[in-house]
Structure 1
Amino acid sequence: MNLHTWHKETEKEWDAFAPIWAKNSQEMWETGSRKSIIPFFSEYVPLGLKVADIGCGDGMGSVKLAQAGFEVTGVDLSNVMIEFAKGKTAHHPNLSFIRGDFNNLPFKDEEMDAAMVINSLEYTGEPLTVMKEIQRVIKPGGYACFAILGPTAEPRKKFSFQRLLGDKVIMNTMQPWEFEKMAAETGWKAIAETGVAKRGVDYNKLGHFSKELKQAVSFMWLFLLQKEGVQ
Structure 2
Amino acid sequence: MAEHSKEQRVYGVFQSISEDYDSANDRISLGLQNSWKKTLTDRLAANTPRGTNILDVCCGTGDIALKMADARHDLKVTGIDFSPAMLEVAESKRGRRQNVRFTQGNAMKLPYRDDSFTAACISFGLRNTADYEQVLREMRRVVRPGGYIYCLDSFVPDNPVVQPFYKIYFRYIMPRLGGGRKYRQEYMWLYESTQKFLHRGELEELYRDIGLKAVDYKNRMCGACVLVWGRK
TM range (shorter): 0.7 to 0.9
Whether 1:181 and 2:196 are equivalent positions in the alignment is: no
Is 1:57–1:81's contact at 8 Å kept on the other side of the alignment? yes
Q: Which of residues 203, 209, 214 in structure 2 aligns to 1:190? A: 214
For each residue in 1:106-135, what CA deviation from the matched residue of structure 2 results, as whole angstroms up to 9, or x when unmatched?
A: 211211111111121111111111111111
Q: Normalising by structure 2, what TM-score?
A: 0.77
**How has the CA–CA distance of structure 1 residues 2 and 150 changed in structure 2, closer, same or farther, with 3 Å as cutoff?**
closer
1:36 shift after superposition = 2.5
Q: Which of residues 46, 50, 70 in structure 1 aligns to 2:53? A: 50
Q: Which of residues 111, 122, 145 in structure 2 aligns to 1:106? A: 111
Aligned to 2:139, the other structure's residue is in SS state helix
Match of 2:178 in 1: none
Match of 1:166 in 2: none
Match of 1:64 in 2: 67
For each residue in 1:209-231, what CA deviation from the matched residue of structure 2 results, as whole angstroms up to 9, or x when unmatched?
A: xxxxxxxx32211122111xxxx
Aligned residues: 201
Is 1:52–1:116's contact at 8 Å kept on the other side of the alignment? yes
1:64 shift after superposition = 0.4
Q: Which of residues 182, 189, 211 in structure 2 aligns to 1:159? A: 189
Match of 2:83 in 1: 78
1:28 shift after superposition = 5.6
Match of 1:165 in 2: none
Further displaced range: 42-51 or 83-92: 42-51
Q: Normalising by structure 1, what TM-score?
A: 0.77
Measure the CA separation in 1 of the matches of 2:4 and 2:105.
14
Measure the CA separation in 1 of the matches of 2:146 and 2:194.
32
1:159 shift after superposition = 2.6
- Between Structure 1 and Structure 2, the one with more helix by share is 2
1:77 shift after superposition = 1.5
Measure the CA separation in 1 of the matches of 2:146 and 2:231.
6
Identity of aligned residues (%): 23
Structure 1, unmatched stretches of 5+, are 163-168, 198-216
1:79 shift after superposition = 0.8
Aligned to 1:87, the other structure's residue is in SS state helix
**How has the CA–CA distance of structure 1 residues 111 and 16 changed in structure 2, closer, same or farther, with 3 Å as cutoff?**
same
Measure the CA separation in 2 of the matches of 1:171 and 1:62.
27
